[in-house]
Structure 1
Amino acid sequence: MEIMLFSNGKVAGNTELLEYGYEWIESAMERTKAKKLLFIPYAMIRSSYDERASQLREAFARFGCDVTSIDTVSDPVRAIEEADGFLVSGGNTWVLNKMLHDLGLVRPLRKAILMHNKLYIGWSAGTNIAAPTIRTTNDMPIVTAAILPSLNLVPFQINPHYIEATIEGHMGETRDERIEEFLVVNPHEVVAGIPEGTMLQVSGRTLRYFSANGKPMKLFRAAQEPCYYRQDESIQFLMEHGC
């Protein structure tokens, strides 16, 4: 497997998508030799699929890659089978997950990634769907008949855009409190909170955490104090969760 799960697409000072992770992406490209990338834009609600595809085409040209958007092909399943890897955009996780299920693309994607070792690069919503379910997304369920099970590429839950903050005057729950609620109801789960500018990577069976800004990952377990993991600290045990 070669899976790259970014918290977000851009950080302050970046002009291109995933710019803060170019060095990490370049290493993955060298390992996988991926050249034909399929872009999956279904999470995008307020932006143009074509514009995002054009941005990615320009960004990934530096790695010698060609990017095709899945909405432009006549046979999405065949496009998945013929691609070397996948780019899955941020946006609304509920819409993205529902579209993949409605179009019958979950099984072909899992087969391509888990059995044929094709590269997967997701950010924000594209990271959420790599978990077993999308129950720890920050997004509103703006579609009806919302579907919870997702690609299940990693055996733990993820909360991208994780922020450890209390806003003055805001009386609603903090992110930590929302995750705590999730764990009260689902005590067997663990949740990895990854802040902006960070990434989880699975290469083979090895899981690593990368941070462009030094921010740690925050790991939540039921009935335990959350703990922090910094880049180069081992988090391999998460790959055994649920086994």
Structure 2
Amino acid sequence: MELLLLSNGKLSGESELLGYAKERIQAVLKSRAITSAVLVPYALIRSDYDERATALSQALGIEVTSIHHADNPADAIASAQCILISGGNTWMLNQLLHENSLIVPIQRAVRERNVPYIGWSAGCNVATPSIRTTNDMPVRNSVVLPSIGLFPVQINPHYIDAHVSGHMGETRDERIAEFCAVNPSESVIALREGSLLQVSGNDLSYFSAKDQGFKVFRHGQDIEEYQDTQALSGLVPFTCR
């Protein structure tokens, strides 16, 4: 299985989409001689699907086609060399994945055909068991919580531990702690901007363009920050690097 789960699509000041992760992404594409990818852009609400596909084609140097052009979306996934799932609104994305019957086809493509899955922000959220740790508003009245479940632990992308002056609501740490209190058997991995988790075969690794760590939240335990995935060895069925 090949997963690249990115906290976000761009760093501040970057013009190129996925620029901070480009070296790792292109290494995967080159190793598998991948020349095309299918983009699932359903998370985009105020952006154009085809414009996002064009931007990704230019950034990655491969042909990227948006799945909304497919007569049968499941068939498009079944024949895909690579799956790209864009950021945007996680609730919209997950709902449309279910409405277009894409959950099982994506699971089979990644697990059975070893098709690389590259998802950022919302695309990272839906790779976990559910979207309960998204930061996004539930913009659809009809919502679904279970998601693709390729990665076994909940992730909170775009994680920030700053407390904004004048903001009287809960901090991100407090919100995630609430999740763990309600779901004491579950953990949450908090990924800062410019960071990613990569599953390659049975190996799990971590990368941060800013040389920052990730945090792991567990109910009743101190919040700690880590620079490598050894801290996740008891949570995931991968060899942690």
Q: TM-score range by the shorter chain?
A: over 0.9
Which of 76, 79, 82 pairs up with 2:79?
Answer: 82
- Counterpart amino acid of 1:113? V
Work out whether 1:165 is the aligned partner of 2:162. yes
**2:209 matches 1:221:** no
For residues 201-226 of structure 1, give each alpha carbon's deviation from its aligned partner in whole angstroms, at most 9, with x where no partner exists. 11112111110101110110110011
Segment drifting more, 87-96 vs 66-75: 66-75
Q: Which residue of the partner structure matches residue 66 of structure 2?
A: 69
Counterpart in the other structure of 2:9: 9
- Percent of aligned pairs sharing the same letter: 49
Task: Show CA shifts across 1:24-74 (max 9, x none).
Answer: 11221233332220000000011111111111111121xxx2111101121
In structure 2, distance between residues paired with 1:231 and 1:34: 28
The alignment partner of 1:240 has SS state of coil
**Mapping of 1:1-243 within 5 angstroms?**
1-61=1-61, 65-231=62-228, 235-240=232-237
Q: Using the TM superposition, give the Cα deviation of residue 81 of structure 1 relative to its aligned residue in structure 2, in angstroms.
A: 0.9
Partners of 1:234 and 1:66 lie apart in 2 by 37
Q: Which amino acid aligns with 2:105?
A: P
Secondary structure of the structure 2 residue equivalent to 1:77? helix
- For the residue of structure 1 that corresponds to 2:28, the secondary structure is helix
- How far apart, CA to CA, are the structure 1 residues paired with 2:153 and 2:197? 12
* Amino acid across the alignment from 1:177: E
TM-score relative to the length of structure 2 = 0.95
Aligned Cα root-mean-square deviation (Å): 1.4
Give the SS at the match of 1:108.
helix
Shift of 1:138: 0.1
Q: For 1:5 and 1:33, how far apart are their aligned partners in 2?
A: 21
Separation in 2, partners of 1:40, 1:232:
28
Query: Tell me, which stretches of 5 or more residues in structure 1 are unaligned?
Result: none
Amino acid at match of 1:167: V
Cα contact 1:187–1:221 (8 A) shared by 2? yes
Aligned-partner Cα distance in 1 for 2:233–2:182: 25
Corresponding letter in the other structure for 2:168: M
Within 1, Cα distance between the matches of 2:30 and 2:93? Answer: 29
Q: Is the 8 A contact 2:186 2:218 kept in 1?
A: yes
Q: TM-score, normalised by structure 1?
A: 0.94
Q: Deviations over 1:151-170 (max 9, x none)?
A: 00011000000001111111
